[in-house]
Amino acid sequence: MNSFEKLEALVKQGKHICVGLDTDIKKIPSIVRKSSNPFYEFNRLIVESTITEAAAYKLNFAFYESHGLEGFTVLRKTVELIRSKREDVLIIGDAKRGDIGNTSMMYAKAIFDELGFDCSTIAPYMGKDSLDPFFEYEGKINFILVLTSNKGSEDFEKLLLSDGTALYKSVLQKIKSWYPANQLGTVFGATRIENLKEDIDDLKGTTVLVPGVGAQGGSAGEVASIFHSAGHRNFLINSSRNIIYASQEEDFASSAYDELQKLNREVNQISHSV
């Protein structure tokens, strides 16, 4: 199955929650820090607890690159672990790459060929030639940053162009004209729900990765309601801290599962009511 086929199958099962594996050694429970490889052990226990109910896992490269060779080893082992447990789950390499063509080609090669991810996240502000190498990989979904969930999104993404259009809206229209729907993903933050309501129709034709749910303030149920009301089913809601750090006690892995199931119920209650 390619990435888009996996997505379609997951959506049919009512699975929309992406578990963000932003693993911070300082935040993992003390009981895990006693193990010989706490970094990987934490990921392993979280994955094994949540694997049956997750739609996707997103590994933010910064949390792994900051540990050098050890971090890259854990990154690779975590991808291999997820793949060994379930072939149909999506694995997103959250590196937010974006550079000139030759450099992007190497970034894409690392993410897809070397590390085996299904999907990437990429930044669009160096233009189409910086994105093209990722889209040369057939069967992969590339999530392009459109409107992010951080406060700094106001600095550039919402700047008005000479025609009065917000910059992020122009980005969205351009990438939709450049790439096929079965490869095109967008990152659209949920911290300001009014933006999602305003732009939901324009997001059609893309697979939307929605950050900002949970610790950043967004509501999974409200996000799902907007998508379902618009007849848009291809979306993933990412939750990182709320799931993986749901508990600091021995029950942290089962607590992560419980939090994931809570989000699943919020989303599916909406889908059944719309």
By annotation, the residues acting in catalysis are 96
Q: What Å distances lie between residue 48 and 87, 225, 265, CA to CA? A: 14, 29, 20
Handedness of CA 150, 207, 175, 87 (dihedral sign): positive
Euclidean distance between CA atoms 81 and 39, whole angstroms: 14
Euclidean distance between CA atoms 94 and 96, whole angstroms: 6
Give the closest residue to 168 by CA, choosing from 182, 149, 153, 180. Answer: 153
Euclidean distance between CA atoms 210 and 188, whole angstroms: 5
The residues near 270 (Cβ < 8 Å, ≥ 6 apart) are: 221, 224, 225, 228
3 state DSSP class of 142: strand
Q: Exposed, middle or buried: residue 121 (CB in 10 Å: 0-12, 13-18, 19+)?
A: buried
Euclidean distance between CA atoms 247 and 267, whole angstroms: 22
Euclidean distance between CA atoms 187 and 176, whole angstroms: 13
